[in-house]
Amino acid sequence: MNVSLDPDLIAPAAEPSVRLIPLGGLGEIGLNMMLVESGDDLIALDCGVMFPDDEMLGIDRVIPDFSYLLAKRTAFRGVVLTHGHEDHIGALPYLLREVNAPIYGTPLTLALVKDRLGEHGLAEQADLHPIKPRDVIDLGPFRIEAIRVTHSIADGIGLAIDTPVGTIVHTGDFKLDPSPIDGETPDYTKFAELGERGVLCLCSDSTNVGRAGHTRSETEVGQALAARFEKAPGRIILATFASHIHRIQQVLDLAARFRRKVALLGMSMVGNVRIAAELGYLKVPEGVLLPLEELAELPPSRQAILSTGSQGEEHSALALMAAKEHKAIQVEPGDLVILSARIIPGNERVIGRVINALFRLGAEVLWEDVAFVHVSGHASQEDLKLMLSLTRPRYFIPVHGEYRHLLMHARLAEGVGVPRERIFVIEDGLGVELTKTAGRVLGRFPTGRVLVDGKGVGDVGSVVLRDRQLLAQDGMVVVALTVDKNTGDLLAGPEIASRGFVYVKESEELLEEVKTAIRDALARREPATPVDRELLGSLVKGAVRRLINQRFQRKPVVLPVILEV
């Protein structure tokens, strides 16, 4: 990931300045990471992953390109985390392989980070520094204060970053919940104080900008779930994000209230409940949690299961139950299955299959489209307007969202009085440079999506992905033959193997046609042409592709294996 940097990106400004450089999260959902640079000093806000879409065959996760940061590693002062979701912390193990930097975050966030780093053998060497709201840390010229916000995970913070040219406020992922489960309301006072003092730039979460009104409180979904717990005649299976500690708290409290016992399904669910309980963020009612085998001995009306898989993820507990492949749980008529989570865009088809399968097994299924079983952790339009009104920024940069979200948020800001020329709609790789008197867009900075496949980082690129897509779409044909190394005459073969193209045993006539086409192509080769394995391979591939394309309009990958004797 090392690159040569454009001199224009390194040259100092004529007057003191600060640069905001998004490496991820602007132009997509996930991959959140922003650099803040002033003079010879650099910090990162968050360091997240993005999970692959259907076109990224075999890819486990996507991380930001750290090239710019690594090229300036001597100036790098550390990472400050806003909260513990994977799209904000998940790329830290890959960054810390390259540079040993201090990491700052709230206790729950750092506990989740340490758990992830442990999976990569990096937990012991990590330099982790816990902070809490209203704490102030100094990193080079940056003085950073943590600000309490509410979100769909506990212990979330926004950041006020004092720089040599002014204060930058970064909201992190947030909503303005007036009655959160833990009683820790957003710090409206601090945001208002910053607005009074003067905010140079506001970077605000754009995820829910398309939703009118205010985002509803987490307590409201708890009240709705209470009615479901009260009336459900049989077992309740509730799937939610394992990181949603407040939702888990409400489910455990409801189970205790309605005399149900709860079993946890999914490694992340078990791990996060343990971590949150140990740190005091989750209060487990006495005697509510049971091992799955003990829960199964109770009548269905006294059983509840907290499960992962709210997004229909392959091999998740809920997906396995829907497919009748879970080793311990079989969904039965009378079960109530609740998907208590927002359907992430792109997952609709997968979740639809899971829901259909659960219905076929006789369960009653509730999800966001048909029942009130979830509230978002992101601010809606009126909350976003309030954040703008509280902070009154000179400049505004919408962050965290696809381009349509960023553009809608920019228009929202203009509607509440931020001048259009002071709003910067940028995506990954475009930076913004601010001074005390002006702002401008810079770019392009080296950015991109680095693909992680197993233990390989960045070794799978667009060419390999394209090959995988071709293999998935049209399959592969392997042609093996032996030729005379002096004359190029065919001595044995061709033998043909096919994977994902046709079933060999049922396509013998077609394969004979392919063999004939290969023999004809080799026979047409000029006898005086030197024997060249690559040339022979091209002849074989061309003959096979032409025949298959004419007959089937398919383009399988053709792999010639040529032995010279």
- Tell me what the pLDDT averaged over the chain comes to: 88
Q: How far apart are CA 465 and CA 462, in angstroms?
A: 5
pLDDT reading at 527 higher than 70? no
Q: How far apart are CA 339 and CA 218, in angstroms?
A: 15
Per-residue pLDDT of 218-243, as tens digits, reads 999 999 999 999 999 999 999 999 99
Name the pLDDT band for 57 (thresholds 50, 70, 90).
Answer: very low
Report the pLDDT value the prediction gives residue 485, as an integer from 0 to 100: 73
Q: How far apart are CA 239 and CA 217, in angstroms?
A: 19
Interacting residues of 170 by C-beta distance below 8 A, sequence separation 6+: 34, 45, 82, 158, 159, 161, 203, 399
pTM: predicted TM-score of the whole model, two decimal places: 0.81
Name the pLDDT band for 465 (thresholds 50, 70, 90).
Answer: very low
294 burial type by CB count under 10 A (0-12 exposed, 13-18 middle, 19+ buried): exposed
**For a pLDDT cut of 70, what percent of the chain falls above it?**
88
- 68-72, 83-87, 452-456: the lowest-pLDDT one: 452-456
Where in 107-198 does DSSP place strands (E)?
A: 127-130, 136-139, 142-148, 157-163, 166-170
* CATH code for the structural domain at 218-366: 3.40.50.10710
Q: Cβ atoms within 10 A of the Cβ of 98, count?
A: 14
3-state secondary structure 463-494: HHHHHHHHHHHHCEEEEEEEECCCCCCEEEEE
Where in 271-401 does DSSP place strands (E)?
A: 303-307, 336-339, 364-366, 393-399
Report the pLDDT value the prediction gives residue 334, as an integer from 0 to 100: 94
471 burial type by CB count under 10 A (0-12 exposed, 13-18 middle, 19+ buried): middle
Query: What residue spans of 67-150 are helical by DSSP H?
Result: 67-71, 86-89, 92-96, 107-119
pLDDT reading at 213 higher than 70? yes
Per-residue pLDDT of 317-361, as tens digits, reads 899 999 999 988 999 999 999 999 988 766 788 899 999 999 999
pLDDT reading at 463 higher than 70? no
**Contacts for 288-295: CB closer than 8 Å, 24+ residues apart:** 288/252, 288/255, 288/256, 288/260, 288/261, 288/262, 289/252, 289/261, 289/262, 289/263, 289/264, 290/261, 290/262, 290/263, 291/263, 292/263, 292/265, 292/328, 292/329, 293/328, 294/261, 295/261, 295/262, 295/263
Per-residue pLDDT of 496-518, as tens digits, reads 777 766 555 556 677 777 788 88
- 8-17, 124-133, 171-180, 280-289: the lowest-pLDDT one: 8-17
- 306-315, 346-355, 516-525: the lowest-pLDDT one: 516-525
User: CATH 3.40.50.10710 occupies which residues in the chain?
Assistant: 218-366
- CA angle at 86 for the pair 403 and 185, rounded to the nearest 5°: 85
Residue with the larger pLDDT of the pair 65 and 552: 65
Report the pLDDT value the prediction gives residue 52, as an integer from 0 to 100: 60
Six-digit token pair at 311?
């997004």
Interacting residues of 536 by C-beta distance below 8 A, sequence separation 6+: 483, 488, 522, 525, 560, 562
Report the pLDDT value the prediction gives residue 543, as an integer from 0 to 100: 80
- 132-146, 168-182, 447-461: the lowest-pLDDT one: 447-461
Per-residue pLDDT of 353-407, as tens digits, reads 999 999 999 999 999 999 999 999 999 999 999 999 999 999 999 999 999 999 9
User: CATH 3.60.15.10 occupies which residues in the chain?
Assistant: 15-213+377-457
Cβ atoms of 205 and 156 within 8 Å: the answer is no
pLDDT reading at 53 higher than 70? no
Q: How far apart are CA 26 and CA 398, in angstroms?
A: 8
| Domain 475-564, architecture per CATH | Roll (3.10)
CATH superfamily of 15-213+377-457: Ribonuclease Z/Hydroxyacylglutathione hydrolase-like (3.60.15.10)
- Host H or E run for residue 233: none
Average pLDDT (8-23) is: 76
Q: How far apart are CA 80 and CA 160, in angstroms?
A: 11
Cβ atoms of 439 and 433 within 8 Å: the answer is yes
User: CATH 3.10.20.580 occupies which residues in the chain?
Assistant: 475-564
3-state secondary structure 491-502: EEEEEEEEECCC
Backbone angles phi, psi at 305, to 5 degrees: -125, 130
Q: How far apart are CA 510 and CA 518, in angstroms?
A: 13
Q: Identify the CA nearest to 256 among candidates 292, 285, 299.
A: 285
Average pLDDT (200-206) is: 98
